[in-house]
Structure 1
Amino acid sequence: MASMFRAASVAFFCVLSVAAAVAQPVTPSASTQGFHSRARLIDGGRQGEHWLAGVEITLDQGFKTYWRNPGDSGLPPRFDWSGSENVAGTEVRWPAPKRHEDAAGVAYVYGKKAVLPILVTPKDPAKPVKLVLALEYGVCKDICIPAHADLTLDLTGADSERKTIEAALAKVPQPQPLAAQAELSVLSITPLAQDKPAYAVTVRAPSGQTPALFAEGPDNWFFSVSHPAEGDRFTVTVEEKPKDASGPVPVRLTLVAGDKAIETEVSLDAPGQPR
């Protein structure tokens, strides 16, 4: 059922996006007004061998957009940089999301303003870089509506938005091994005896802060995370997986508490044992 809903959402998204593109041709600029939102490209200047840029989505009051994993429903951002000039590659860095639960289920979202830092690798560092982005993203209040923005920006090195991008980078979860001796840590993952494959995930968080946990796997793997009212143990359940799936299966656990966030990679072998 979840996969059918996701497929329907993506199909609906694609149809509306194509219709909007045909009906409303636009000239790309650094900033575009969308459905209850505004998207723009921002320049953070040079950072070593890279250019530092960002995609900023500002939302109207009460609206939200989605993380790379949207949760039970929603539309993750999609980036098409193919029209860019002198760009060898782009890497999106993802600040930690918020967990939002309503009648539609659990979604992983950004509210008010989302800034996604982009590390841009030029083909020739001595030549100018021009970013051209076709951006698809979801905007949601009661229902999710697809939005599209055509954006372009010449990176000049003026670093006018460097502080904004650096503030977003500070919210990107830091890689951390299992059972690390830190105030925020994923301590253990243990199989549970349930109808579906499930795991107890024990964490450590700073005193007085309520942690949130997000679980991600390969394509066509879908997880749910049961959040305790209090305590430090979550239940992660494999809701869907490919029929021919075999281990080892990489799973990324993102743990957030307050303004701190870490991500821990674990691996499930063929019988479902973590390692």
Structure 2
Amino acid sequence: MASMFRAASVAFFCVLSFAAAVAQPVKPSASTQGFHSRARLIGGGQQGEHWLAGVEITLDPGFKTYWRNPGDSGLPPRFDWSGSENVAGAEIRWPAPKRHVDAAGVAYVYGKQAVIPILVKPKDPAKPVKLVLALDYGVCNDICIPASANLTLDLGGADSERKAIEAALAKVPLPQPLGAQADLSILSIAPQVGDKPAFAVTVRAPAGTKPALFPEGPENWFVSASHPADGDRFTVTVEEKPKDASGSVPLRLTLVAGDKAIETEVSLDGSGPPR
């Protein structure tokens, strides 16, 4: 509960700061300076029926930003592409995050420079594509501060940032079934007895690496993962869930070790045990 209170306090502070930050409209550009950070849209040319693009966030030393699930506290990036032209879809691909522990709890973060790849599908492949993005993201050192950027980019034939986007795509976790026979794998899950619904997750990771597990439940479910003492077993705990939860509930487990990352989908029933 203490971590929940800290997260709520941080979120309240961030909401107040965000209101002040967005009070002044900003003309869109390819790059915007934010709080201890700079955000920009980058392009990487065509790949099949999609255009490659990316949101690049460069952070001052000591600062970090957040993954799609920020962990105990923080703000995940939010993307509004509604002002774009000739865009049928903008698919976000999330590179694997890092686990950061501080007084506010455990956060799932990116540091230094993060590139979040975007696969852009045009409505009409024969016409130009213009990306217009209203981006909200969190920047954190000791506390979380919201930042925003209004960005625009015309996607053309140039692919000057293709290598950066492809490098980020290589860090996106690969889908993998439970029990897969691979050097990085989530092998099994089993219920544990305790005050809260919890289960043990046994993994396999390459020798010499320190695996990290990032659990994600659906909206209004809060789950955490312990850092393993023996290196191959995590405890995932359902910290909070809707009171009326029932039936099958999806749970995504992202496992990262060294430069490899996979994600495995499992199910919970309303009371928490996996199946």
TM-score bracket, shorter-length normalisation:
over 0.9
Secondary structure in 2 aligned to 1:256?
A: strand
For the 8 Å contact 2:191–2:274, the answer to whether it is kept is: yes
Shift of 1:103: 1.0
1:215 aligns to what? Answer: 215
Shift of 1:229: 2.8
1:269 aligns to what? Answer: 269
Letter in 1 for 2:22: A
1:63 aligns to what? Answer: 63
Distance, in Å, in 2 between the alignment partners of 1:110 and 1:230 is 26
Q: In the alignment, is residue 20 of structure 1 matched against residue 21 of structure 2?
A: yes
For the 8 Å contact 1:247–1:272, the answer to whether it is kept is: no
Shift of 1:15: 3.5
Q: In the alignment, is residue 229 of structure 1 matched against residue 242 of structure 2?
A: no
Shift of 1:199: 0.3
* CA-to-aligned-CA distance 1:158-204 (integer Å, 9 cap, x gap): 11100000000000000000000000000000000111000000000
For the 8 Å contact 1:43–1:157, the answer to whether it is kept is: no
* CA-to-aligned-CA distance 1:2-60 (integer Å, 9 cap, x gap): 556555544543443332222x4322110011111000000011111111100000000
1:151 aligns to what? Answer: 151
Question: Which shifted more, 225-234 or 149-158?
Answer: 225-234
Q: In the alignment, is residue 245 of structure 1 matched against residue 220 of structure 2?
A: no
Distance, in Å, in 1 between the alignment partners of 2:56 and 2:249 is 33
Q: What percentage of aligned pairs have identical amino acids?
A: 80
Shift of 1:147: 0.4
2:187 aligns to what? Answer: 187
1:142 aligns to what? Answer: 142
TM-score (norm 2): 0.96
Q: In the alignment, is residue 205 of structure 1 matched against residue 189 of structure 2?
A: no
TM-score (norm 1): 0.96
Q: 1:87 to 1:12 in 2, by over 3 A?
A: farther
Shift of 1:273: 3.8
Question: Which shifted more, 43-52 or 3-12?
Answer: 3-12
For the 8 Å contact 1:223–1:238, the answer to whether it is kept is: yes
Secondary structure in 2 aligned to 1:58?
A: strand
1:69-88 → structure 2 map (5 Å cutoff)? 69-88=69-88
1:165 aligns to what? Answer: 165
Alignment length, in residue pairs?
Answer: 274
Gaps of 5+ in 1: none
Secondary structure in 2 aligned to 1:165?
A: helix
For the 8 Å contact 2:214–2:254, the answer to whether it is kept is: yes
Shift of 1:98: 0.3
Distance, in Å, in 2 between the alignment partners of 1:81 and 1:38 is 19
Secondary structure in 1 aligned to 2:168?
A: helix
